[in-house]
Chains A and B, each alone.
Chain A
Amino acid sequence: MCFKHRTLGQGGVIGLHSGPHNQTDGILIRNVGWNLIGPIAKCMQSCAVGSEKERGCLQLLNALIESCNPKEILLGILEQIDEAAGDHISRIILPFLQPLQIVLLKLGNKKSYSVGLSLSTIHSRLSNLPVPYTAQQMQEDKYSLCQCCLALVQFAQPFIDIVSQSIDLSKEADTEEMRKELLTFCFSCLKYPLLNAPLNTLPEDEGDHPLRVFAKQIMGFLVSLGESLPRTFVQRGHSAPTNDTEGSISGNEVCSVESLACLSYLLFVQHIGIDSFPFVFGPSFLVKSNMGHVAVLLKRTEESLLSKGLDLLEHSLLRVDNGSLPEDVLEVLTANQVLQDLVKVMTLCPIEHLRKKSLATLQLVIDKFCVEGKYKLFRCLLKISSHAGVEGYIIHNIKNQIDAALKTNPQNKWFLGTRLTPLLLSALSLSEGAETDLLQMSDRIMASLNLLRYLVIKDDDNETGVWSELAKIEQDFLKPLHTGLNMSRAHYDAEIRSTHEKKRGSHSGKPLCTVTAGGNKLPDMTPEMQLQVLQSALFTFDLMESVLARVEELIEVKLKSAPEGKIGSS
């Protein structure tokens, strides 16, 4: 033993390699040889990749595998892997994979537990590595994560083969056990690294990048293991939020909601594994089922997950024809969650392209729903959004729907007549009456005014019910808006005057607060800039007031010109 240590330390590997041929040494090594794995690992860490010395170490390792008890070698290797940390993780895992595989294959009939243990040990080590995000990071592969993933596929292949070649799993308890272990491994790979990994194809790239290859392999494994993708998708997808313990994989928590979300993403967005997925599911059913997965993804804040969530939502919606998504999709619990998160991404996410994308996706959602669905969607969105811009956008959409109803479909009972009234009233209102912050809410108010103007001009026959509700609209919307405008204008006028005075007076006034954006401190506002801001607020009020005046004028004209009884009937 001491001898071995010494030789290793000195790098005298070749002498060692011939060691086991000696008779007495042979017995010694058979019994305590596994103790050498630690020193070998240390030695390998210290030498360069592909060097003579490293090769020597591997040869030594192989020699040990030949002569020692495989169970002890297995534990020895796993111990080394388990202790790996930081930059060393891949440095240890990569060279040990092949020896580990050989040992496991030598284990005979009861290897499933050991295979599972090995895979979970390796996976838990690997998941400490950061997942590359940009194409460049992936190419660089600083922590050799991509390399490890591909090597891991090679590693798992023979075990996958054992399962897929088995004829009757119910008779081979160990193989059935192995199948479960491998499934667990595949699902955990879906969660890490694939959930975070960029999986879009690179336009300029000919082939696939490593993580995409990895994704394909893993999906291939799932199929080879006899895991029915549609069954996993349907059963799990439906019970995802409740964490029910039912499903094709014998109930235990083999796959997390994140893995399933990733599975869905690979299937529907990247079309990986779609060949093993049936093409008979109804499109709205797919949307319903995917809502849960989208909710899981949008709940997170990482860019890669959010964009996956948006992509998945988009791609499931694209399969549905416009105006054909049934309203009952909204009754799926997670749909509500998805809408809220969508609005959240739209308004709060710091990443611009995601904000834009989420807005586009919202429009897609609106377009796909049937008329009743649209109606309920708008009501729901107005309740949950609490952001003037989004609300303005929805009100604009409401206007479009009313327009479509007036022009093409007078039988539309959702965007005309009595059903429309509550929606109209919630669109034409000020949340806090005259005290509403008009500047903050300007997007919404302008959209509301626009809607009202449109109704007054177009709807002569009171099909939308706007004339019957006029009194309430005036009371709840127009009047407080007038008051609000007067108050705000007076306030800002006064503010401008005082700023002017300040400007004439001292210039060295200390700013009350500082603003930082993106970590940079913005320069203090000069009185000129303050004036500009105040002025632009006044312009907004002007604009609002002029539209308001125009609307009221129109109402008056219409009321006068219309024959008594026509307006306010129906």
Chain B
Amino acid sequence: MIGDKVSVHYTGWLLDGTKFDSSRDRKDKFTFDLGKGQVIKAWDIAVATMKVGEVCRIICKPEYAYGASGSPPKIPPNAVLVFEVELFDFQGEDLSTDEDGGIIRRIRVKGEGYSKPNEGSVVELWFQGSHDGHVFDERDLRFEVGEGEGLGIPPGVETALQQMEKGEEAVLYLKPKYGFNSAGYEPFHVPPNAELQYEIKLKSFEKAKESWEMNSEEKLEQGALVKERGTEYFKAGRYRQAVIQYKKIIQWLEHESGLAEEETAKSKCLLLAASLNLAACYLKLGEHRPALDNCHKALEFDTNNEKGLFRRAEAYMGVNELELAKDDLMKVINLYPGNKAARAQLTQCQQRIRDQHQREKKIYANMFQRLAEKEEKESTKVAKEQLPSDDVEMSEEPEGRQPSDASRTVTGEM
């Protein structure tokens, strides 16, 4: 089947009988992926019809081989080629990253194009999962690659999807490691350590276009859609997914130039929203640094943005820059006196500043106290009896008398 790894031995001649190539002479079987355009057209067509052990002779017209260009130095232009091919073996393609045979794919119908879904692509597919000949799941589904877990889609399927083309139909054979693991999957009555088989048809997918492929209109249009999707995720509490969406906007529009006036306004608006929302996501995720970066970005577009300032304050508090947080919060309250949340936050912030002062005081106080003690200790050097924990360490000191002292203290304690 298409996509299978095929291994053959072959010899090739020109029509005049010159042998130009032979895998037998190299003593190295030739392996390739069938039907992927890796080899000349004649081979993709002919080898697909062969059985294991079959030996056949293929005569290829130039348009199915190297055409008018030929392939220097051995194949002249417009050459008819004759091959004798022996098929030894073919097997499904191993898609697992460790190449442990855990995800085997066999393609039933080849898809089109060269592009494949990536993490974050929205895929639309039909699939049927079975175990021991018993179908446990059959669905038409539309979802984003990377969040299959919540939908009862095993990781192996998601890995495989990223290797599939649009319109492709394939069978997957999954080892438990890439299926539902030792836990099994209760909703589908899949027992632990089950080997799974999936029939998949990838109907279509929507991939983030390369930014040069889109014109500014498309970017703005897509940007608005993506923003909505991001917001949905945010509301659902799925901040990671939301981040992927918002980041797209930044990626598309940040360096876009040559926009009309109206478009510039729109783009600014989207960028501002995206940065603000990204900041919110990161705050929720507890990642304060990227949150801070995005707040800075947002405030570049709009220096006095209420949300921007407020979120930056939150982020500052997250990284313990309390004074900076306070400044931002004061600014919010000055500009938008109605913002109660900011007031509450400010109180909290000031409380923390006070706390910190207290703590610092204590720490420094302690520090000075210790320094003082240390000095004292060193100057007198007489008082050697200290806390028991110190004694244990002292036992390693080279002074001969010390160890016995220490052990005595320790035993004494016990």
Contact A228–B69 (Cβ < 8 Å) = no
Q: For residue A319, which residues in chain B have a CB less than 8 angstroms away from its CB?
A: 66, 69-72
Find residues 408-428 in chain A having any chain B CB closer than 8 Å to their own CB. 422, 426
Contact B212–A331 (Cβ < 8 Å) = no
| Bound CA–CA A324/B41 (angstroms) | 13
Smallest Cβ distance from A25 to chain B, in angstroms?
49
A282/B212 contact (C-beta < 8 A), A231-B31, A328-B113 known: no
A14 at the interface (CB under 8 A from B): no
Find residues 18-69 in chain B having any chain A CB closer than 8 Å to their own CB. 20-21, 23, 26, 28, 30-32, 36-41, 43-44, 66-69
Contact B67–A321 (Cβ < 8 Å) = yes
| Bound CA–CA A278/B40 (angstroms) | 11
Contact A282–B41 (Cβ < 8 Å) = yes
B397 at the interface (CB under 8 A from A): no
Indicate which residue in B39, B75, B99 contacts A282 across the interface (CB closer than 8 Å).
B39
A328/B114 contact (C-beta < 8 A), A228-B28, A271-B73, A280-B43 known: yes
B354 at the interface (CB under 8 A from A): no
A331/B10 contact (C-beta < 8 A), A274-B73, A280-B21, A324-B67 known: no
Q: For residue A231, which residues in chain B have a CB less than 8 angstroms away from its CB?
A: 31
B348 at the interface (CB under 8 A from A): no
A278/B20 contact (C-beta < 8 A), A246-B99, A331-B115 known: no
| Bound CA–CA A380/B211 (angstroms) | 10
A536 at the interface (CB under 8 A from B): no
A153 at the interface (CB under 8 A from B): no
Q: For residue B75, which residues in chain A have a CB less than 8 angstroms away from its CB?
A: 279
B150 at the interface (CB under 8 A from A): no
Contact A278–B215 (Cβ < 8 Å) = no
Contact B21–A234 (Cβ < 8 Å) = no
Find residues 331-386 in chain A having any chain B CB closer than 8 Å to their own CB. 331-332, 336, 376, 379-380, 383-384
B385 at the interface (CB under 8 A from A): no
| Bound CA–CA A274/B38 (angstroms) | 17
Smallest Cβ distance from B82 to chain A, in angstroms?
12
Smallest Cβ distance from A383 to chain B, in angstroms?
4
B102 at the interface (CB under 8 A from A): no
| Bound CA–CA A354/B72 (angstroms) | 23
B213 at the interface (CB under 8 A from A): yes
Contact A283–B99 (Cβ < 8 Å) = no
Find residues 268-316 in chain A having any chain B CB closer than 8 Å to their own CB. 271, 274, 276, 278-285, 315
Contact A318–B72 (Cβ < 8 Å) = yes
Contact with B along A78-114 (1 / 0, CB 8 A): 0000000000000000000000000000000000000
Contact with A along B66-87 (1 / 0, CB 8 A): 1111111111000000010000
Indicate which residue in A285, A326, A329, A379 contacts B39 across the interface (CB closer than 8 Å).
A285
Smallest Cβ distance from B111 to chain A, in angstroms?
11
A278/B114 contact (C-beta < 8 A), A336-B210, A380-B212, A383-B212 known: no
Indicate which residue in B12, B210, B212 contacts A280 across the interface (CB closer than 8 Å).
B12
A279/B74 contact (C-beta < 8 A), A328-B114, A328-B115 known: yes
Smallest Cβ distance from A469 to chain B, in angstroms?
14
A379/B40 contact (C-beta < 8 A), A279-B12, A280-B21 known: no
A230 at the interface (CB under 8 A from B): yes
A531 at the interface (CB under 8 A from B): no
Smallest Cβ distance from A434 to chain B, in angstroms?
14
A331/B114 contact (C-beta < 8 A), A246-B99, A278-B23, A279-B74 known: yes
Contact A321–B71 (Cβ < 8 Å) = no
B258 at the interface (CB under 8 A from A): yes
Smallest Cβ distance from B95 to chain A, in angstroms?
12
Smallest Cβ distance from A385 to chain B, in angstroms?
11
Q: For residue B68, which residues in chain A have a CB less than 8 angstroms away from its CB?
A: 321-322
A431 at the interface (CB under 8 A from B): yes
Indicate which residue in B69, B113, B215 contacts A321 across the interface (CB closer than 8 Å).
B69
Q: For residue A422, which residues in chain B have a CB less than 8 angstroms away from its CB?
A: 215
| Bound CA–CA A326/B41 (angstroms) | 13
A439 at the interface (CB under 8 A from B): no
Q: For residue B115, which residues in chain A have a CB less than 8 angstroms away from its CB?
A: 328, 331
Q: For residue A285, which residues in chain B have a CB less than 8 angstroms away from its CB?
A: 36-39
Contact B66–A283 (Cβ < 8 Å) = yes
| Bound CA–CA A283/B72 (angstroms) | 11
| Bound CA–CA A369/B212 (angstroms) | 19
Q: For residue A432, which residues in chain B have a CB less than 8 angstroms away from its CB?
A: 258
| Bound CA–CA A498/B68 (angstroms) | 62
Interface size for B (C-beta < 8 A) is 38
Smallest Cβ distance from A501 to chain B, in angstroms?
39
| Bound CA–CA A380/B210 (angstroms) | 10
Contact A280–B30 (Cβ < 8 Å) = yes
| Bound CA–CA A343/B12 (angstroms) | 40
Indicate which residue in A234, A321, A326, A380 contacts B38 across the interface (CB closer than 8 Å).
A234
Smallest Cβ distance from A529 to chain B, in angstroms?
35
Q: For residue B12, which residues in chain A have a CB less than 8 angstroms away from its CB?
A: 279-280
A320's nearest neighbour on chain B, judged by CB, is: B69
Q: For residue A318, which residues in chain B have a CB less than 8 angstroms away from its CB?
A: 69, 72
Q: For residue A322, which residues in chain B have a CB less than 8 angstroms away from its CB?
A: 68
| Bound CA–CA A231/B215 (angstroms) | 40
Indicate which residue in B10, B20, B73, B114 contacts A332 across the interface (CB closer than 8 Å).
B114
Q: For residue B114, which residues in chain A have a CB less than 8 angstroms away from its CB?
A: 326, 328-329, 331-332
| Bound CA–CA A276/B25 (angstroms) | 9
B43's nearest neighbour on chain A, judged by CB, is: A280
| Bound CA–CA A45/B73 (angstroms) | 47
Residue from B23, B69, B75 with most neighbouring chain A CB atoms (10 Å): B69
Smallest Cβ distance from A316 to chain B, in angstroms?
10
B40's nearest neighbour on chain A, judged by CB, is: A282
| Bound CA–CA A542/B113 (angstroms) | 48
| Bound CA–CA A234/B32 (angstroms) | 9
Smallest Cβ distance from A552 to chain B, in angstroms?
24
Smallest Cβ distance from A19 to chain B, in angstroms?
51
| Bound CA–CA A318/B70 (angstroms) | 9
Q: For residue A384, which residues in chain B have a CB less than 8 angstroms away from its CB?
A: 212
Smallest Cβ distance from A263 to chain B, in angstroms?
16
A426's nearest neighbour on chain B, judged by CB, is: B215
| Bound CA–CA A331/B99 (angstroms) | 25
Smallest Cβ distance from A60 to chain B, in angstroms?
45
Contact A279–B20 (Cβ < 8 Å) = yes
Contact B31–A281 (Cβ < 8 Å) = no
| Bound CA–CA A422/B258 (angstroms) | 15
Q: For residue B37, which residues in chain A have a CB less than 8 angstroms away from its CB?
A: 282, 284-285, 326
B67's nearest neighbour on chain A, judged by CB, is: A321
Q: For residue B113, which residues in chain A have a CB less than 8 angstroms away from its CB?
A: 328, 331
A230's nearest neighbour on chain B, judged by CB, is: B30
B30's nearest neighbour on chain A, judged by CB, is: A278
B260's nearest neighbour on chain A, judged by CB, is: A476
B10's nearest neighbour on chain A, judged by CB, is: A280
Contact B74–A281 (Cβ < 8 Å) = no
A382's nearest neighbour on chain B, judged by CB, is: B212
Q: For residue A281, which residues in chain B have a CB less than 8 angstroms away from its CB?
A: 32, 38-40
| Bound CA–CA A104/B113 (angstroms) | 54
| Bound CA–CA A376/B113 (angstroms) | 14
Q: For residue B41, which residues in chain A have a CB less than 8 angstroms away from its CB?
A: 282
Q: For residue B26, which residues in chain A have a CB less than 8 angstroms away from its CB?
A: 276
The 7 A-B residue pairs with the shortest CB-CB distance in the complex, in nearest-first order: A328-B114, A321-B67, A279-B21, A383-B212, A331-B114, A285-B38, A280-B39
Interface residues of A (CB under 8 A from B): 228, 230-231, 234, 246, 271, 274, 276, 278-285, 315, 318-322, 324, 326, 328-329, 331-332, 336, 376, 379-380, 383-384, 422, 426, 431-432
Given A279-B21, A280-B43, A321-B69, 13 further pairs, Cβ under 8 A = A234-B32, A274-B74, A279-B12, A280-B32, A280-B83, A281-B40, A285-B39, A321-B67, A326-B114, A328-B115, A331-B113, A332-B114, A380-B212
A to B CB contacts below 8 Å, 20 in the list: A228-B28, A274-B74, A278-B23, A279-B21, A279-B74, A279-B75, A281-B39, A282-B41, A285-B37, A285-B39, A318-B69, A318-B72, A319-B66, A320-B67, A321-B67, A321-B69, A326-B37, A328-B113, A328-B115, A426-B215
